[in-house]
Each structure stands twice: as structure tokens, then as C-alpha cells.
């Protein structure tokens, strides 16, 4: 006898829970935009900080390029880039970023760094 009551009770509870979720209203488009605007503002600030840091990095790269040009050192140093990449992948993993993501970012940064260094080497020739 207890089993049918349990089934009926479970059925009623599941209907009630389902009704509650259907009664919740979806936020309006304006509410969604307002809610997201704070996050988007944070993202915009972080993007600006990333660009600033990349600019600082490339100014140091320019100094490296000048030094390499003056001392006849080739722009590409594979061993050094491998070290940089490995450190970046490890740091990215600690932040929850995939290896593929970090490798793509670092390869793009490295490509730009090589371009800057190569410009300085060509100017010295």
C-alpha cells in the first residue's frame, strides 16, 4: 500500500517543480543588456590592459632586435622560443587555459616579435 502513495507523491512533486520552472519569466532584452554591460565593461578593461602589456613587451623586443642586429645574431632563436612557449603553456594551464589556446597566442606574439627584430636587423645591414 505504501508504494502507490509514494508514486503519487513523487508525481505531484515533479509536476509542482516543473510548474515552478515554467512560471519563471525570462528577463527582458533590456535587463539582459544591463546585466551583461558590467561584465562587458570588465572585459573591455582587461583587453585594454592586454594591449598595453603587449606594447610594452614589443618595446623590449625592439631593444633585443637592436642588440641582435649590432652583434650579428639571427632573429630566430628556436631554443629560446621553446622555453618561452613551455613556460606560457604551464602558466596557462594554471589559469584553466588550453594548451592550444596558449600556443596560438604565443605563436602570434612570436611572429610579431620576429618581424620587429628582423626590421632592426635589416636596418643595420
User: CATH no. for residue 120?
Assistant: 1.20.59.10
State the total domains in the chain: 1
Q: What is the pLDDT of residues 72-90, one digit of tens each?
A: 899 899 999 999 999 999 9
Q: DSSP letters along 65-86, please?
A: HHHHHHTT--S--HHHHHHHHH
pTM score = 0.71
Print the domain residue range for 82: 58-124
Q: Could you give the percent of the chain with pLDDT greater than 90?
A: 61
**pLDDT at position 124:** 73
Distance from C-alpha of 74 to C-alpha of 118, rounded to nearest angstrom? 8
Q: What is the pLDDT of residues 88-109, one digit of tens each?
A: 999 999 999 999 999 999 999 9
- The three grid cell numbers given for residue 71, joined into one nine-digit string: 652583434
Closest CA to 110 of 39, 72, 66, 54: 54
- 47 within a domain of the structure (yes/no): no
Amino acid at each position: 500500500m505504501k508504494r502507490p502513495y509514494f508514486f503519487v507523491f513523487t508525481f505531484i512533486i515533479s509536476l509542482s517543480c516543473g510548474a515552478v520552472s515554467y512560471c519563471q519569466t525570462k528577463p527582458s532584452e533590456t535587463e539582459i543588456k544591463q546585466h551583461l554591460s558590467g561584465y562587458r565593461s570588465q572585459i573591455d578593461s582587461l583587453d585594454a590592459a592586454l594591449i598595453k602589456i603587449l606594447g610594452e613587451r614589443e618595446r623590449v623586443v625592439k631593444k633585443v632586435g637592436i642588440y641582435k642586429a649590432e652583434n650579428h645574431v639571427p632573429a630566430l632563436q628556436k631554443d629560446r622560443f621553446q622555453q618561452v612557449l613551455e613556460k606560457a603553456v604551464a602558466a596557462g594551464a594554471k589559469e584553466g587555459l588550453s594548451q592550444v589556446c596558449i600556443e596560438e597566442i604565443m605563436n602570434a606574439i612570436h611572429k610579431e616579435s620576429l618581424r620587429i627584430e628582423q626590421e632592426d636587423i635589416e636596418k643595420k645591414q
